[in-house]
Amino acid sequence: MYVLIGGAGMVGLGLAQRLIDLGHTVSMIDVDPIACRYARERLGVMAFEGSAVSTEVLLEAGIRKADALAAVLRNDALNLAMVTLAKHYGVSHILVRLRHRDFAEPYRIAGATHVVNAIDLAVSTMANAIEYPQIESMMHFEQGQIEILKLTIRENCNVVDRSVAEIAQDPRFPSGSLIIGYQPHPHMDLTIPNGNTVLEVGSTILVVTKPRSMHDMIDFIEG
């Protein structure tokens, strides 16, 4: 994919590096010549010096051929303008970093397909890591309305040697939750479990649940 990133700050550069590692072609736009030079020399991406809300710069950077665009500029007003222009030029996949909640709906109206509130996600992740240290990792979807937890099944857990179907039928299993991933051992691939999958000691599971059910889920699994 050809991905255009507006903003060569820490988030933009980090995103560019990840996309390059995944095999995508990346271009960046930033008003800071030092940031652009860094992007070219250290990441090997095309970097265009100028405003990411300038039609001339966007066209030079290839917005008409972009498969995706990420607006991670310094403020929401600039990001909103970039989203609007990306929609105008027919970019189908438009991501934007949200700084102030008041811009969430304007972003969607303007055509953003994904709105990421980085601050809220960071705060939520750190708070949950403090409260639930047993969670190896956590992913948030739909502005934190859904959580996916990665948990290791220890020897004294309530779900050891029980099938996914049996666990789901347990009245203590939080309603609306689902086990969607299973890794028997660290060196094995993650698979999608079925009702007959039995959870073993030392295995890892992915569980999708609601934030309000997280505490109940942890209590149920750990017994």
User: Can you give the residue ranges of every domain in the chain?
Assistant: 2-117, 129-222
Q: Which pTM was predicted?
A: 0.69
Q: What is the pLDDT of residues 143-176, one digit of tens each?
A: 567 888 888 898 888 899 999 999 999 999 999 8
Q: What is the pLDDT of residues 183-221, one digit of tens each?
A: 998 888 999 999 999 999 999 999 999 888 888 888 898
Four-way CATH pick for 2-117: 3.40.50.720, 3.40.50.2300, 3.30.300.30, 1.20.1250.20: 3.40.50.720
What are the backbone angles phi and psi of residue 29, rounded to the nearest 5°? Answer: -130, 135
The answer regarding whether domain 129-222 maps to CATH 3.30.70.1450 reads yes
